[in-house]
Amino acid sequence: MSSMKVKAKEKDGIVEVKALIKHPMETGQRKDQKTGKPIPAHFVQQITVEQGGQTRVSADWSGGVSKNPLLFVKFKGGAKGDMVKVAWTDNQGGSDSAEAEIK
Amino acid sequence: MQTDTKRRVFLKGSVASGAVAAAVGAGLLTPQMVLAEWNKAAFESKTVEDAAKNLLGLEGAAEESGDITIKAPDIAENGAVVPVTVDVNMDGVETIAFIARENPSPLVAAFHMGDGGVPFARTNIKMGKTSDVIAMVTAGGKTFMAKKEVKVTIGGCGG
């Protein structure tokens, strides 16, 4: 059901979070090759990475980020066993989230 | 003091509209984590200077800094997927912006540090043609930058 795979790893006090998001990331500049009509912009706009009740890192994206994008960020303050949640919203009102345990 | 600055960055601007409101309604973002609204003016800017002004309030040039490391291929075979990593060796980093100078809309991504956020980010970007990839970083109220040219053999903006 989730569009995302999330992994979180702690080493030397730094938590690395990697998320792979399945999303078309359309810029709105492309045209449908059959109909010639523009394909509407459809891209992840905002992402949050949460742990311990805090947003550790957030990101704002445009359609200039690649299709099925990767997110790789880091933060301090999490420990092995804690849960990390990655959540995104897109420009068409879509959203999704996934959690992973810090290993 | 640092926490207050970060709170201001997150909460400034209207949060009442669009996708963020939908996410709040769906319970995906709790009120304490509501973000500043997606910066349409910055992401639709057509020049690096306008993007930097709209996103970071930058007037004039950003100071080039050796404390910002950009990792990106010298030559990108596929402009649709160019991996870019930015690592910053500075204290008090607030925002890291990924900019591709020659893209129709140069600002591609902005990463905001929350409590404990480490100033590092990696994602894959689209590049239409050979261009400087620019990282702009705000730290302690100042803006710094670094750049690296990425040659693109097949453009990836699809436009």
User: Into how many domains does chain A fold?
Assistant: 1
pLDDT confidence of residue B29: 52
Share the mean pLDDT of chain B: 85
pLDDT confidence of residue B35: 73
ipTM: 0.96
pLDDT confidence of residue B5: 46
pLDDT confidence of residue B30: 47
**Partner B contacted by A91 (CB < 8 A):** yes
pLDDT value at A85 more than 70: yes
pLDDT confidence of residue B154: 77
Element (DSSP H or E) covering residue B71: strand B68-71
**Partner B contacted by A21 (CB < 8 A):** no
**Partner B contacted by A27 (CB < 8 A):** yes
Specify the pTM.
Answer: 0.86
- According to the CATH classification, is domain B61-152 in 1.10.10.60? no
Find the mean pLDDT for residues A48-66.
Answer: 97
In chain B, what are the domain boundaries?
61-152
Flag if B111 and A90 touch (Cβ within 8 Å): no
Task: Report residue B6's pLDDT band, with 50, 70 and 90 as the boundaries.
Answer: very low
Which residue reads 């706009």 in tokens? A45
Flag if A61 and B157 touch (Cβ within 8 Å): no
Flag if A95 and B104 touch (Cβ within 8 Å): no
A57 closest CB neighbour out of B23, B80, B113: B113
The string of DSSP codes covering chain A is --SEEEEEEEETTEEEEEEEE----B-S--B-TTT-PBPPPB-EEEEEEEETTEEEEEEEE-TTBPSS-EEEEEEES--TT-EEEEEEEETTS-EEEEEEEB-
Cα-based angle A25, B157, A22 (whole degrees, multiple of 5): 20
CATH number for the domain including A64? Answer: 2.60.40.10
pLDDT confidence of residue A3: 86
Name which of B33-42, B52-61, B71-80 the model is least confident about.
Answer: B33-42
Cα-based angle A6, B37, A29 (whole degrees, multiple of 5): 75
A46 closest CB neighbour out of B38, B116, B157: B38
Measure in Å the smallest separation between the Cα of B48 and chain A Cα atoms: 14
User: Within 13 Å of residue A61, how many CA atoms lie on the same side as its CB?
Assistant: 34
pLDDT value at B121 more than 90: yes
The answer to whether the beta carbons of residues A30 and A37 sit under 8 Å apart is no
pLDDT confidence of residue B117: 98
Flag if B112 and A95 touch (Cβ within 8 Å): no
Name which of A86-95, B23-32, B65-74, B144-153 the model is least confident about.
Answer: B23-32
The answer to whether the beta carbons of residues B83 and A41 sit under 8 Å apart is no
Flag if B28 and A53 touch (Cβ within 8 Å): no
Which domain does A55 fall in, by range?
4-101
Flag if A58 and B114 touch (Cβ within 8 Å): yes
A48 closest CB neighbour out of B26, B35, B126: B35
Higher pLDDT, B115 or B3: B115
Structure token digits, residue A82:
């804690």
